[in-house]
Amino acid sequence: MEAAVEFSGEQTTENNVRRDLLRPLTGASGQYLTAVVLCSAVVIWALVAWGYQIHYGIGVAGINRPVFWGFYIINFVFWIGISHAGTLISAILRLTDAGWRKPVTRAAEAITVFCLMIGGMFPLIHLGRVWLFYWLIPYPNDRLLWPNFRSPLVWDMTAIFTYMTGSVLFLYLPLIPDLAMMAKRSQGVRGFLYRKLSLGWTGSDRQWHAMERAMKLMAGMILAVAVSVHSVVAFDFSMSVAPMWHSTIFAPYFVAGAIFSGIAALVLVMAALRHFLHLQHYLRPLHFDNLGKLLLLMSLIWMYFTFAEHLTVWYGNNPAEINVFNVREHGVFASALWCMVTCNFIIPFILLGVRKLRTITTICLASVSVLVGMWLERFLIVVPTLSHPPLASGWGAYTPTWVEWSITAGTFAAMALLYLLFVKAFPIIAIWEYEDDH
């Protein structure tokens, strides 16, 4: 007897669920192919820009004295932050066994893996001489050369590798039952790959219990890893004595901001999947409403941290810090600061705080606003501090070049491209979670 799943008062059979969720894997519309070609073109252009930088040196970027961190580190922090969508949102929902999580978790977990792939490239891009990246790895060698363990590059590399390993496993484990099911329906190379990836899954009670235990364990571990990773990213800044960086609040501030931007990214991905893959029966207004409430909560938390950071600097009136504070509040960076506050607090508070205004469309608008605001936040953390060191004689400016703009655009195109390819290879919603046959 077929298992039944209820969607908005309708009874949808197990076969219909499989049909709906496997449909995006077959065929490719003109719209899909156009999106793949456009994203690929932008990614290729970004790779050309990176190749140009490798050939001519890091000097072709806008990075110079005193601003030695620019778009590359800004984007690094931004993408690593968004990666928390999968680990924290999905892991928390799995651990609490929230019933509405089923169509959300895989989309969130995929965001984590793709964002880590993109964000993890930026320390290498920023390195300039990328062919020497292996100097960061602590491996035995005859020259007795070891990395500088005080360098944030080593911290970031260790954290990202750990996070990436856990996130891939977290995405892969719940994919196994669906891979086994697709292996029976597929032929040729695709069927062969599905069979290999399914690891001989038969759906026995023992396998189900083992996978559920593994998922609970991974969810607990990935939560700790996710928090520690973005704390390490925060330590890249707070362990220095630079103005407005040397603060004990930076680690929780960065983690809160990461969850904030991660939820916003997840909302936009879900909206795109709902519209283009026709998954309205699965990604329902309830899911967007719940994520909208979480987004509103994180907006309030973000505003609290931001206010606390600026209040402490203003009240302390340290000359070195007050210079950076002034250029951020009413100097050359003031427009970016108030745009950030508007995007991260005012717009979400209005659109999400008023129940009648909180619809799928307004939640998506608030999410776009948050992503813009969070990128500006990363910019305002990096550039004003570096361009205004304690000694006024060392002040300078930073202007990104076409190379940095091209690589930045390429990262957004790469995110879209990876998602486009993923939804054609695997069901974006776990089919087995809607079935009661186990």
Does residue 46 sit within a domain? yes
Boundaries of domain holding 426: 17-138+149-242+251-288+399-434
Q: What CATH number has the domain bearing residue 219?
A: 1.20.1630
In a domain, 189, yes or no: yes
Give me the number of domains the chain comprises. 1
Q: Is residue 416 part of a domain?
A: yes
pLDDT truncated to tens, each residue of the chain (438 aa)? Answer: 334 444 444 444 567 778 888 888 887 788 899 999 999 999 999 999 999 999 999 989 989 889 888 899 999 999 998 987 767 777 877 777 777 778 888 888 899 999 999 998 898 898 888 888 877 676 666 666 666 677 777 777 788 888 888 889 888 998 999 899 888 888 888 889 999 998 888 888 898 888 888 888 888 888 888 888 888 888 888 888 888 888 888 999 999 999 899 999 999 999 999 999 888 888 889 889 989 999 999 999 999 999 999 999 999 998 889 999 999 988 899 999 999 999 999 999 999 998 889 999 999 999 999 999 999 999 999 999 999 888 877 888 899 999 999 999 999 999 999 999 999 989 998 888 776 544
Determine, yes or no, domain membership for 159.
Answer: yes
Q: Contact, 35 vs 416, CB < 8 A?
A: yes
pTM over 0.85, yes/no: yes
381 assigned to some structural domain: no
**335 inside domain:** no
Question: Does the residue 196 lie in any domain?
Answer: yes
194: in domain: yes
